[in-house]
Amino acid sequence: MEFTATFIVLALLGIVDAGYLTLKHRQKQPLACPMDHDCSTVTESKWGAVFGVRNELLGLLYYVVMLVGIMAALFVPAFASPLYGVFVVAASGALLMSIFLVGIQFYALKDYCFYCLISAGLNVLLFINSLVLFLSL
């Protein structure tokens, strides 16, 4: 049960993080990026979208789907087994995408986005959490 609670918290944190990035982009306002970096260097780069869809919007959708999925597994236990497998697959994809984008930040752009790194960290934790839930079946 504790991994279900942490899964929910991680998904909610992801929604807040990606939601903030999405909101600021839609409002065309600068990001408040700590540690003396310009987050827009990363978010507005050519790597800021996949197939024409902004990364933060994809992240927001991912975190919302993960939250809805864990709530479905919580309230309808018969859904838990197949959903935990889906979580592992989805979290694996998000983790690979995060690794790729963090590499782009450090090696191609030579700058980073604080919020993007937070999202990458959340994706690592969601992946681990998904594995634990799946293996606990």
Q: Tell which residue, 97, 107, 118, 121, has the closest CA to residue 48.
A: 97
Domain ranges of the chain: 2-135
Report pLDDT digits (tens) over 20-69. Answer: 999 999 999 989 888 788 899 999 999 999 989 999 999 999 999 999 99
Angle between helix 55-75 and helix 114-135 axes, rounded to 10 deg: 30
Q: Is domain 2-135 in CATH 2.60.40.10, yes or no? A: no
Q: Quick one: tokens of 63?
A: 């975190």
Q: How far is CA 63 from CA 29, 34, 48, 135, in A?
A: 23, 23, 18, 21
Report pLDDT digits (tens) over 67-101. Answer: 999 999 999 999 999 999 999 999 999 999 999 99
Give dist(CA 97, CA 64) in Å, integer.
17
